[in-house]
């Protein structure tokens, strides 16, 4: 497994235990699926494979497991086998929105009646290869290298980029009646989901797509919105566009905002 897959694996272990799911409740069950991905995959194994092929041993130095570590679908593939998933099993890769899209897609699978439970989330690994690529874009914070505890400062006037990190997270998305029937502890109900694109620029969005995304997620929801977990990249342009989109949707009645 890559580090991204390991993070997701450990998260799924905790999610299964927290949900009170016995092995016979989810293993080898075609009504239980998995949708998990990684925005960046595992660049270090792609670099390793390329370097190994240039070595005197050539392909023999690569080994048979680099593909399973480096491939974009590695997270879902590496979790499906040990957890014996028989339902849907695929990865979504959409940068910082990856796990949110996985969760939303899990909801849609349940709404379509195809699954009763879907494990959803993802994993990201910290590797210098990807960090250097983001730094080359000018996206990483560099002003606070001597005071790293002050570097991540979303929406702050002195922000200068994001701080890259690794980790994983998985949730158990379950059909309501199915969860109630087994006496599950329910943390929340997902009542809305939206996914859009503004088609403007890959790294400098217009904000129009974010407006439609929030409106889509809230369509038909009659409960008040009291908390908003934002993207909050801490980049000079991104934060302004995001706050502008939030203001357009909520006006002067914006909920509490945090980026975590």
The structure's pTM equals 0.94
256 — phi, psi (to 5°)?
A: -60, 135
> Are the CB atoms for 42 and 127 separated by under 8 Å?
yes
Name beta bridge partners: 167.
124
Distance, in Å, from the CA atom of 127 to the CA atom of 192, rounded to the nearest integer, reads: 34
Query: Has residue 260 got a pLDDT over 90?
Result: no
Distance, in Å, from the CA atom of 30 to the CA atom of 178, rounded to the nearest integer, reads: 15
pLDDT of residue 199: 87
Is 6 buried (19+), middle (13-18) or exposed (0-12) by CB count in 10 A? Answer: middle
Distance, in Å, from the CA atom of 260 to the CA atom of 254, rounded to the nearest integer, reads: 18
Could you tell me which CATH number the domain at 3-126+165-190 has? Answer: 3.40.47.10
Average pLDDT of span 174-187: 97
Average pLDDT of span 25-47: 95
pLDDT of residue 204: 79
Q: For residue range 109-151, list pLDDT tens digits in order.
A: 999 999 999 999 999 999 998 999 999 999 999 999 999 999 9
pLDDT of residue 202: 80
Buried b (16+ CB within 10 A) or exposed e, 212-240: bbbeebbeeeeeebeeeebbbbbbeebbe
pLDDT of residue 134: 92
Place of tokens 């994993």: 123
Distance, in Å, from the CA atom of 117 to the CA atom of 98, rounded to the nearest integer, reads: 19
Distance, in Å, from the CA atom of 197 to the CA atom of 19, rounded to the nearest integer, reads: 33
Distance, in Å, from the CA atom of 241 to the CA atom of 253, rounded to the nearest integer, reads: 18
Distances (CA, A) of 144 to 114, 153, 159, 188: 49, 10, 10, 38
Higher pLDDT: 198 or 117? It is 117
* Domain limits, the chain: 3-126+165-190
Average pLDDT of span 244-259: 94
């Amino acid at each position: 497994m890559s580090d991204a897959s390991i993070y997701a694996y450990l998260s799924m272990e905790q999610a299964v235990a927290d949900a009170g799911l016995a092995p016979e409740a989810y293993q080898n069950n075609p009504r239980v699926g998995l949708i998990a991905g990684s925005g960046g995959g595992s660049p270090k194994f792609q670099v390793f494979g390329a370097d190994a092929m240039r070595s005197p041993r050539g392909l023999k130095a690569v080994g048979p497991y680099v593909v399973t570590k480096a491939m974009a679908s590695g997270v879902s593939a590496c979790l499906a086998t040990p957890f014996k998933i028989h339902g849907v099993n695929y990865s979504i890769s959409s940068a910082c929105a990856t796990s949110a899209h996985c969760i939303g897609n899990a909801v849609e699978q349940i709404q379509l009646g195809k699954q009763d439970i879907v494990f959803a989330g993802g994993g990201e690994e910290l590797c210098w290869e990807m960090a250097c690529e983001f730094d080359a874009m000018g996206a990483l914070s560099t002003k606070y290298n001597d005071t790293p505890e002050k570097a991540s400062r979303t929406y702050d006037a002195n922000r200068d980029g994001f701080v890259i990190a690794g980790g994983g997270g998985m949730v158990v998305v379950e059909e309501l009646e199915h969860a109630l029937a087994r006496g599950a502890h329910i943390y929340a109900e997902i009542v809305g989901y939206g996914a859009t694109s503004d088609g403007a620029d890959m790294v400098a969005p217009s904000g129009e797509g974010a407006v439609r995304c929030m409106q889509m997620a809230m369509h038909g929801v009659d409960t008040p919105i009291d908390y908003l977990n934002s993207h909050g990249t801490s980049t000079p342009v991104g934060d302004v566009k995001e706050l502008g989109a939030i203001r357009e949707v909520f006006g002067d009645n914006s909920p509490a905002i945090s980026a975590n």
